[in-house]
Amino acid sequence: MDVISCENLTKRFGPAIAVSELDLAVSPGQVYGFLGPNGAGKTTTIRMLLGLIAPSAGQIRLFGRRLPDPRAVAQAGSMIEEPAFYPWMTGRMNLEVLAATGGGCVPGEVDRVLGLVGLGDAARKVKTYSQGMRQRLGIAAAMLGRPPLLIIDEPANGLDPAGIREIRGLLRGLAAEGTTVFLSSHLLAEVEQVCDRVAVIVGGRLVEEGAPAALGAIRRRVRVEVAAADTQAAARLLTRWPARYGNGQFLVEHDSGRDVNGTLLAGGVVAESVTVERPGLEDRFLEITEKEDARAVAAGR
């Protein structure tokens, strides 16, 4: 049974469509990345998963229970966007209140989660916390009570590189213990390093879904610049990979610059430059929309 299952999930705000016909299936124990540029519909989807907003169409099941069943939502620990706390309370008190809100937890649970995120005794009032500390406290709050599902929105926000690595290790550790982690981010590197499976959402629509290495949105490609005289020879040599030519450069859909350069050299072409790059999500989105436009023109629409 899937931990999260969304079918034809759609959310409209007036005439604007925030999420359109989204299908997702997250298996137990996975770290599932939900990738998309800002405004893609990630947070809207998470709000629907947590029952904060109701879908306009489609359905969501958590652990087989169809939302808005509150018993399903109770099994998810969550952190949405920038975590919010009661500023007049200490970090520890905030966690104690949150634990009680959900029906209480075992003694020592607050200490356990504070220790996991490296916040120590959290005896200071939350209003004095830095953004990074709030983020850690938010992740600690999500882990309260050992929920079998963690839904975390942009966990790297406000964390320094060491903190990001620490949280990444923490999430992988939780997944190893059997917790399912649903992680949203707009950072390619973040999901690539931590996720077993990734869904890419752009403009509210699911663009791609699969293992990170297999995704076009994440896959590296090689940009090659050759002298004008060598253009035709290079084009012939590079036919073994999907490649495009424009602005005096080849864009080769392959993740190894070494392979591409070696092929060119073997054919007697010396490249002016070889750069391995990863397209941004916005680039990928533009590519997709260009392809769709071209398809529409070809179909005479």
Q: 264 with 271: CB under 8 angstroms?
A: yes
Q: 158 with 183: CB under 8 angstroms?
A: no
Mark 170-209 with x for binding to other proteins (rule: CB under 8 A) and - for no binding: ----------------------------------------
Interface region with other proteins, contact rule CB under 8 A, candidates 92-100, 177-185, 237-245, 285-293:
92-100
Residue 70 binds other proteins, judged by CB under 8 A: yes
Identify which of residues 72 and 281 has a Cβ nearer to other proteins in the complex: 72
Q: What does the alpha-carbon distance between residue 4 and residue 1 come to, in Å, rounded to a whole number?
A: 9
Considering only residues 102 to 121 of the shown chain, the ones binding other proteins according to CB under 8 A are 102-104
Identify which of residues 46 and 234 has a Cβ nearer to other proteins in the complex: 46
Residue 101 binds other proteins, judged by CB under 8 A: yes
Instruction: Give residue for tokens 């629409």.
Output: 301
H/E segment holding residue 150: strand 149-153
The three-state DSSP-derived secondary structure of 42-62 is HHHHHHHHCCCCCCCEEEEEE
Residue 47 binds other proteins, judged by CB under 8 A: yes
Interface region with other proteins, contact rule CB under 8 A, candidates 66-74, 215-223, 250-258, 265-273:
66-74
What token pair was written down for 216? 């076009």
Residue 86 binds other proteins, judged by CB under 8 A: yes
In angstroms, give the least distance from the CB of 23 to other proteins: 22
Interface region with other proteins, contact rule CB under 8 A, candidates 81-89, 107-115, 264-272, 281-289:
81-89
Question: Mapping DSSP to helix (H, G, I), strand (E, B) and coil, where does residue 17 land?
Answer: strand
Residue 214 binds other proteins, judged by CB under 8 A: no
Report DSSP state, residue 87.
Answer: T
Task: Report CA Rg, the chain.
Answer: 23
Identify which of residues 68 and 280 has a Cβ nearer to other proteins in the complex: 68
Residue 84 binds other proteins, judged by CB under 8 A: yes
Helical H runs in the chain? 42-49, 70-73, 91-101, 109-116, 131-143, 161-176, 188-194, 231-237, 257-266, 281-298
Q: What does the alpha-carbon distance between residue 35 and residue 22 come to, in Å, rounded to a whole number?
A: 13
H/E segment holding residue 26: strand 16-26
Question: Beta strands 76-79 and 149-153: pairing type?
Answer: parallel
Q: 220 with 255: CB under 8 angstroms?
A: yes
Instruction: Give residue for tokens 């975590």.
Output: 83
Residue 240 binds other proteins, judged by CB under 8 A: no
Residues that contact other proteins, how many (by CB under 8 A): 34
Residue 52 binds other proteins, judged by CB under 8 A: yes
Question: Mapping DSSP to helix (H, G, I), strand (E, B) and coil, where does residue 208 land?
Answer: strand
Identify which of residues 82 and 292 has a Cβ nearer to other proteins in the complex: 82
Interface region with other proteins, contact rule CB under 8 A, candidates 30-38, 101-109, 157-165, 169-177:
101-109
Residue 17 binds other proteins, judged by CB under 8 A: no
Interface region with other proteins, contact rule CB under 8 A, candidates 98-106, 190-198, 203-211, 215-223:
98-106
Closest CA to 79 of 144, 158, 146, 152: 152
Residue 288 binds other proteins, judged by CB under 8 A: no
Binder of other proteins out of 8, 23, 97, 277 (CB under 8 A):
97
Residues that bind other proteins (CB under 8 A): 47, 50-54, 68-74, 76, 78, 80, 82-89, 93, 96-98, 100-104, 141
